[in-house]
Amino acid sequence: MNFTPAQVSELIRKRRSIFPKTYLWKPISREIVEEILENANWAPTHKLTESWRFKVIAGDGLERLSEFMSSHYKSNTSKDKFSEIKYNKLKTNPMKAACIIAVCMKRDPQARLPEWEEVAATACAVQNMYLTCTAHGIGCYWSTPQSALEATAFLELEDGERCLGLFYMGYHNLPELPGKRNPVEDKTTWITS
């Protein structure tokens, strides 16, 4: 292998969620988006179900997504729970991204394994996307607004597919952000005998 453990550890530990409010309006080339998706495609997958599916939203599609999400929120939220701030965020955030990938999962038609394993495999694909974006200096984050989770018609999902959220991407000029994690020792038990 051409990568040292230190290089891999550094990449993993520098991964951050970077939000659309900090994105610069700079397009991400199709080649880089395809590389991000190809790396996602190499996630671990039990029984090789390769459950992940992706819908790339760019250009005018971002405006359509913006209208869909804000309208969905407005139509499906009672007046006492409606937030103008949330509505505006759903309307403006897609327009700040260079590209958004709808992260979807297609259930194994034979249900040979529990659904949670296919969700977990899709989440591993998203981690590969995060790491690839980090290596390219692209900010990204995985968002799960209700409107996206209920976007079956908008995304033209097939039977057995469902959306697990939106992966926002955009270049940014933020300084390196510090990480926040509690010690792994607090979450680990060793069983040695």
The pLDDT tens digits of the residues spanning 149-163 come to 999 999 999 999 999
| Domain assignment of residue 74, yes or no | no
Q: Which residues contact residue 17 at a Cβ distance below 8 angstroms, ignoring those fewer than 6 apart?
A: 140, 141, 142
Amino acid letter, residue 127: Q
Whether residue 178 is contained in a domain is answered as no
Q: How many domains does the chain have?
A: 1
Considering the domain boundaries, does residue 29 fall inside one? yes
Average pLDDT over residues 150-179: 95
184 is a domain residue: no
Average pLDDT rounded to a whole number, residues 98-120: 95
pTM higher than 0.75: yes
pLDDT in the model for residue 1: 64
| Confidence at residue 3, expressed as pLDDT on a 0 to 100 scale | 87
pLDDT confidence of residue 21: 95
- The whole-chain average pLDDT of the chain stands at 95
Is residue 188 included in any domain, yes or no? no
Per-residue pLDDT, 78: 95
* pLDDT confidence band for 100 (50 / 70 / 90): very high
Q: What is the 3-state secondary structure (H, E, C) of the chain?
A: CCCCHHHHHHHHHHCCCCCHHHECCCCCCHHHHHHHHHHHCCCCCHHHCCCEEEEEECCHHHHHHHHHHHHHHHHCCCCCCCCHHHHHHHHHHHHHCCEEEEEEEECCCCCCCCHHHHHHHHHHHHHHHHHHHHHHCEEEEEECCHHHHCCHHHHCCCCCEEEEEEEEEEEECCCCCCCCCCCHHHHCCCCCC
Domain hosting 130: range is 17-60+97-173
CATH code, domain carrying 27 = 3.40.109.10
Split at pLDDT 50, 70, 90, the class of 87 is very high
Region 155-172 average pLDDT: 96
Q: Is residue 70 one of the residues assigned to a domain?
A: no
Domain membership of residue 90 (yes or no) is no
- Over residues 51-76, the pLDDT tens digits come to 999 999 999 999 999 999 999 999 99
For residue 82, being part of any structural domain is answered with no
What pLDDT is recorded for position 146?
Answer: 94
pLDDT score at 142: 97
The radius of gyration of the chain's CA atoms, rounded to the nearest angstrom, is 18
Paired sense of beta strands 99-106 and 52-57, if any = antiparallel
